[in-house]
Amino acid sequence: MLAKVMDVTEARSIYQTDYLRLKKERSGQRNAWTHKIRDEAMACFAKLGFPTNKDEEWRFTNVNPIATHPFEPPQYDIKGLTADAVQRAGLGTLAAGAVVFVNGWFSPELSFLRGIEQEVKVGSLAVALNEGWEWIEAHLARYASYRDHAFVALNTAMMQDGASVYIPPGRLVKEPIHLLFISTPAKKAAVSHPRNIIFIGRGSQATIVENYVGLEKGNYFTNAVTEIVVGENAVLDHYKLQRESEEAFHVATLQARLGRNGNFSSQSISLGGALVRNDVNVVLDGEGSECALNGLYLVSGVQHVDNHTRIDHVRPHGTSRQLYKGVLDGKSSAVFNGKIYVHKGAGKTDARQTNKNLLLSLDARIDTKPQLEIYNNDVKCTHGSTIGQLDQDAVFYLRSRGIGERSARSLLTYAFASDLIGLIRVDSMRAQLDKLLAARLQKDS
Amino acid sequence: MLEIKNLHAKVADSEILRGINLTIRAGEVHAVMGPNGSGKSTLAHVLSGRENYEVTAGEVLYEGKKLLEMTPEVRAREGIFLAFQYPIEIPGVNTTYFLKAALNAVRKHRGFKELDAIEFLALVKERMKIVEMDQGLLNRPINEGFSGGEKKRNEIFQMAVLEPKLAILDETDSGLDIDALRIVANGVNALRSKERAMIVITHYQRLLDYIIPDYVHVLFDGRIVKSGDKKLALELEERGYAWIEEQVQKNQPVNL
């Protein structure tokens, strides 16, 4: 007999029930403003429902496995989570400290901040909300749109914890701030809605790593939203590493707003997960602001990874660069959808977008869709995408020197993907990811 | 060392090799000459195991073993080396890394200890001198941005590192200016030995002024129609290939 499969309406009613439970728990607490936003977001989710393939933004990604699963609320459980396991999850780059979350909940036991919190405010969003920081009220849920994105709406309604990072103006934070989200699969699959808010003050510079890791096999659902404000003349290097369990679902939206001469770079590296969707949306909302969005997705088996980017050039003299590369093996599939939207007032925009895909198997599938919408005549915009197989001449060349066919193929695949790893400016993380990539390609080939 | 018997091969339904017979012993250098389209490069590729070619008849014995049943990498590990006519660029693959992996695959196969990074670099530095290679090229991706001459030198350099028993040089001279040609030829000569055989495939006699062959074979229309010593190469230089073509078409034995 087949296990009971829920229909979408039934699954949605579970979120409604959970929501009402959370609302009850919250009643009487401070932060009335978030209650209002949550109610609005929940109403939006009820209206939107989960997207289907009829929705243009979800044409190639079927979220039915998520929409029909009755996920449990997440449990905080750090049994068996050793310091060693945490370091491994953090790719050995946690020297400067890390804000650690377990199944979506801030872990005071596992987090350690080597004095960094003295100069900047880094920690749990739940705690920060409770303390009533003004800057959070000014920015939380002001950028990521819950009105037209069902998963953002769901996150906004259900959010309980996540990271809050506040860098005051004029600070140079040298060590990367590591936000580590560890999932430990439970008997019954759970959903967490990590909500992160990052503010980089005027003229400040920081590096933030947002790292999602599944430590064991098993199904669960991570539905994350990260809002980033890069102030005037501020610089943020953001790294998003996604290494969820191979059975997990991961949907994440990163929404960044850049002020005048703000500089934002995003590296999104997606290695894990069964069904993954990453949205990276950047609004260049200040004159002369600049962003670089890079991504690497490695999929095999029956994995599906969907990367959507949207860059809104709103003001003049904005620059954007995008390079996304994919390596697909087995029966995996991937989507790249990159939209560059140049608004009327964004003269002298310079935008470039490239998507390159390497298909290692005949059964793998990539749908790539670059989109330009330009409402200003004085701009420079280019985009291009390629889909190819390994160069057989190169494979033969390596084999003719004694290198085995499997090694030759993995060496060439590594060569294709490694330039994106090379863009990582955190030395220790680059070295670790480089190793991880090489090992992964050895395994796949 | 190498026995080619009645070798027939085709590519995409057209028969290129139509009965090659050739025996090569250790220490010998054989030049294979012939006009364009005679099958010279096809012979090189069939011997090195390129997949686009289908062998339809005949066999090749290498040190008594059936060569055609080996994968390209096993042939390389057994000691066969092809210097490519058009060495390809492989962006992203570092030359040192590639060559160390190749050498250690070969050494492992032959039962030698694999070299560590320091031993490997010492070997490489010594062998670079043979073709006057610039050490900076080692840190670049394979052949990326190399000039034609640098690519050909890199081929001979790789040969010097891998120390094959049988080297096949596929038009290593074509496209080289006289200085580059001299460097490449000097490199090849430095690698001549009693244990090593070479097949030097060329369109022009010029290379054979520098690499003196023990035997010269003329390949025409997929068959060796004439064999001789180095004087045959001079004859070809003087008279071109047309007279051979005529005689073959008249179905006459080819006489000087």
pLDDT at res. A118: 66
**Tell me: domain B2-249, CATH 1.20.120.1200, correct?**
no
Q: In this predicted model, what pLDDT tens digit does every residue of B203-234 receive, in sequence order?
A: 888 889 899 999 999 999 999 998 999 888 88
The pLDDT score that the predictor gives to residue B235 is 85
- Report pLDDT for B24: 96
State residue A32's pLDDT score.
84
Name the packing angle between helices A8-26 and A150-158 (round to 10°): 30
Nearest by CB to residue B105, choosing from A402, A412, A416, is A402
At B251, the pLDDT band (50, 70, 90 cuts) reads low
pLDDT tens profile B169-181: 999 988 888 988 9
CA nearest to B93 within chain A = A415
Residue with token string 């022009």: B204
Q: Do A403 and B141 touch (CB under 8 A)?
A: no
Identify the burial level of B10 via C-beta atoms within 10 angstroms of its C-beta, where 0-12 means exposed, 13-18 middle and 19 or more buried. Answer: middle
Taking an 8 Å cut-off on Cβ atoms, the answer to whether A402 and B162 are in contact is yes
Mean pLDDT over residues B152-177, rounded? 93
Task: Answer whether A399 sits within 8 Å of B105, measured CB to CB.
Answer: no
Contact A86, A182 (CB under 8 A): yes
Q: Which among A430, A88, A104, A63 has a CA at the least distance from the CA of A269?
A: A430
Measured between beta carbons, which residues in chain B are less than 8 angstroms from residue A418?
A: 92
Beta-sheet pairing, A177-183 with A205-214: parallel
Token digits for B244?
Answer: 């051979």
Pairing of strands B54-62, B2-11: antiparallel
For tokens 């073709």, the residue is B131
Q: What's residue A1's pLDDT?
A: 38
| Chain A residue with Cα closest to B107 | A402
Task: Quote the mean pLDDT of chain A.
Answer: 92
Most A-contacting residue of B45, B53, B88, B90 (CB-CB within 10 A), to test interface: B90
Alpha carbon distance B38, B18 (integer Å)? 10
Tell me the three-class secondary structure of chain B, residue by residue.
CEEEEEEEEEECCEEEEEEEEEEECCCCEEEEECCCCCCHHHHHHHHHCCCCCEEEEEEEEECCEEHHHCCHHHHHHHCEEEECCCCCCEEEEEHHHHHHHHHHHHHHHCCCCCCCHHHHHHHHHHHHHHHCCCHHHHHCEECCCCCHHHHHHHHHHHHHHHCCCEEEEECCCCCCCHHHHHHHHHHHHHCCECCEEEEEEECCHHHHHCCCCCEEEEEECCEEEEEECHHHHHHHHHHCCHHHHHHHHCCCCCCC
Confidence (pLDDT) at A117: 62
B103/chain A closest Cα distance in angstroms: 8
What confidence score (pLDDT) does residue B8 get?
Answer: 95
pLDDT over 60 (residue A136) = yes
A317 or B234: which leads in pLDDT: A317
C-alpha span between A81 and A104 (Å, rounded): 15
CA distance A297 to A323: 11
pTM over 0.90: no
A232 and A259 in contact (C-beta within 8 Å)?
yes
Distance from CA of A406 to the nearest CA of B (A): 11
Q: Which residues of A touch B102 (CB under 8 A)?
A: 398, 401-403
Domain range annotation of chain B: 2-249
A277: confidence class by pLDDT, cuts 50, 70, 90: very high
Tens digits of per-residue pLDDT, A66-110?
999 989 999 998 888 888 888 889 887 787 779 999 999 999 999
pLDDT at residue A249 greater than cutoff 50: yes
Give the model confidence (pLDDT) of B98-111 as tens digits: 999 999 999 999 99
ipTM here: 0.95
What six digits make up the tokens of A182? 């560890």
Residue A4 has pLDDT above 60, yes or no: no
Q: How far apart are CA A224 and CA A194, in angstroms?
A: 5
- Tell me whether residues B105 and A414 touch, CB distance under 8 A: no
Compare all CA atoms of chain A with the CA of B71 and give the residue at the minimum distance.
Answer: A399
